[in-house]
Amino acid sequence: MSLIGTLWKDRLLRSGYIIILGSIIAGGINFFYQIYISRALGPEDTGEFGALYSLSFFLSYILLRTIRVSTTSFVSKLRGLGKDRYIPLLYRTIFSKLLILGSISTVIFVVTSAMIADFLQINSAYLVVFVASTFILSWLFPINLGILQGIQGFKDMAIANVSQSVGKMISGTLLIFLGFGVFGALAGLVMGAVVALVLSYFFIIQYFRIQGWESQKKGKMKKEAAIGGSDRKLLDGSLGYSEMFHFSVITLIAVICLGVPTNIDMLMVKHYFSDEESGLYFAATIFGRMVFFLPMGITIAMYPMVAEAHAKKEPTMGLLKRGMLYTGAPTAAVAVFFSFFPQVFITFFSSEFADAEDFVRYYGIFMLFFSMSSVLVYYNLAMGRFLHVYMFSAFTAISVVLVYLNHDSLTGILTTFLWVNIVFFVISIIYTFMEGDSHIKGASVDG
């Protein structure tokens, strides 16, 4: 059998690259959408959109990763314990509670819009208010993705993600063409999220129907699940509210830290530097983020597999090693390409962005180490090793403090993030491999 055929038999690789294929398509659409925006709006308006986009993306990113990862963990645990029939009840429980929380947080966002606009030096607070309209969707869509990831419906996940980019591209481009400027570019975010939410809900309902779960009565399931006070067990003794809350908080910490180098950096740059400089930096991040986000499909596929294997007390180190290999190889290749050929960057932009070449070099290498660290973060989270998340949060805080103390140049900011992440990656490798498959009594490390 050929090498490709042998590798394709690996469920982790096959599932991961289904997601990666969807990410490439979605990422390609997002890439050209941002390129179009940069060319249509120019550096100054691009800087304004970049700050608002990063704000929207960061908030959505936090909610997407926290809610999706938490939901995936609960679904994977139910599957590992052989209690799949409680997944619909879990879905209804999470959806109803987060709908309320999402509505409250959106109101708070609107109330504080003027302060946010002042910090980001945005001329109109109404643009920030419009970004707030995406907030409620950011609470609900991740639930659907978490269910799909937990049941390992990776193809449906990929299709839902692509639909979001398509909806954003079509609506946003049309509105910009009609002269709505930054407002039109932001409107695309809303339309894309609506399309993805509806489509992913359809996939989930179809799966429930195939399993025959839609015929179960809510009252009977609730009685069987013994839903009660904060310390009582949820879903037939499998999960507790306190456990769900604790895990979600830990996940939130990890997700915020993962979002700092890919989103908060842009907000800090917009605060400390001019519109033109922040526009150059944002343009460079378009390429740099490709290094991080393209191989994320492997991590997304690995996470529920590790969580389910952990619940079954099966070996997981083999999954981690393959996950790091499948992530590291393409990530390193892209980072090296951007390091040696940053001039390719210029062909996608006008000559006004020529000064961003050096930023592409640094950002690509930085994202290489950050993407490898993220694999270890998600692996340890799936294993319930919260100490690693605390270490991650400490290193993230150090990087933010260092940037606050030394923000004389954009290159200096990137160098700070790079070295902090290199140190964290080395420490993470040592910690993770020393722990190994410690959840299995007497187990040897799986190669």
Whole-structure pTM value: 0.73
Q: Which among 122, 140, 144 is positioned nearest to 131, based on CA atoms?
A: 122
pLDDT value, residue 446: 42
| 84: containing domain | 3-435
The reply to whether 443 falls in a domain is no
> Best-predicted range by mean pLDDT among 347-356, 395-404, 412-421, 426-435?
426-435
194 within 8 A of 137, measured Cβ to Cβ: yes
Residue-wise pLDDT tens digits, 226-252: 333 333 344 545 555 667 778 888 988
Q: Say which DSSP state 133 is in.
A: T
Residue range 265-280: average pLDDT? 74
pLDDT higher at 209 or 278: 209
Q: Give the separation between CA 190 and CA 171, rounded to whole angstroms.
A: 9
- In total, how many domains does the chain have? 1
pLDDT value, residue 44: 62
Residue range 59-71: average pLDDT? 81
Placement of tokens 């069987």 in the chain:
224
pLDDT value, residue 391: 94
The reply to whether 447 falls in a domain is no
The reply to whether 442 falls in a domain is no
Q: Which among 71, 96, 81, 85 is positioned nearest to 220, based on CA atoms?
A: 85
Q: Give the separation between CA 186 and CA 101, rounded to whole angstroms.
A: 23
Q: Give the separation between CA 37 and CA 121, rounded to whole angstroms.
A: 19
Residue-wise pLDDT tens digits, 222-231: 444 433 333 3
Residue range 365-369: average pLDDT? 86
Task: For 293-328, give one letter per residue: b (16+ CB within 10 A) or e.
Answer: bbbbbbbbbbbbbbbbbbbeebbbbebbebbbebbb
Residue range 191-220: average pLDDT? 78
> Best-predicted range by mean pLDDT among 149-163, 255-269, 394-408?
149-163
Confidence of residue 389 (pLDDT cuts 50, 70, 90): very high
User: Above 80 in pLDDT, residue 173?
Assistant: yes
How many helices (H) does the chain have, and how many strands (E)?
17, 2
The reply to whether 199 falls in a domain is yes
pLDDT value, residue 441: 59
Confidence of residue 432 (pLDDT cuts 50, 70, 90): very high
pLDDT higher at 149 or 12: 149
The reply to whether 400 falls in a domain is yes
In the chain, the amino acid numbered 387 is: L
pLDDT value, residue 59: 72
In the chain, the amino acid numbered 135 is: F
State the DSSP H helix or E strand holding residue 239, giving kind and residue range, or none if neither. Answer: strand 239-240
Q: Give the separation between CA 220 and CA 3, rounded to whole angstroms.
A: 51
The reply to whether 7 falls in a domain is yes
Helices 181-211, 11-80: inter-axial angle, 10-degree rounding: 70
195 within 8 A of 163, measured Cβ to Cβ: yes
Question: According to DSSP H, which parts of 151-295 are helical?
Answer: 154-177, 181-211, 218-225, 241-259, 265-272, 275-293
Q: Give the separation between CA 413 and CA 1, rounded to whole angstroms.
A: 48
Helices 87-111, 11-80: inter-axial angle, 10-degree rounding: 100
The reply to whether 118 falls in a domain is yes
Q: Give the separation between CA 112 and CA 302, rounded to whole angstroms.
A: 38
Q: Say which DSSP state 75 is in.
A: H
Residue range 19-40: average pLDDT? 81
Helices 11-80, 265-272: inter-axial angle, 10-degree rounding: 100
pLDDT higher at 61 or 322: 322
Range of weakest confidence among 16-25, 41-50, 299-308: 41-50
Q: Give the separation between CA 91 and CA 119, rounded to whole angstroms.
A: 38
Greatest alpha-carbon pair distance for the chain in Å reads: 66
User: Above 60 in pLDDT, residue 196?
Assistant: yes
Confidence of residue 294 (pLDDT cuts 50, 70, 90): low
Q: Give the separation between CA 173 and CA 180, rounded to whole angstroms.
A: 10
The reply to whether 362 falls in a domain is yes
pLDDT value, residue 2: 58
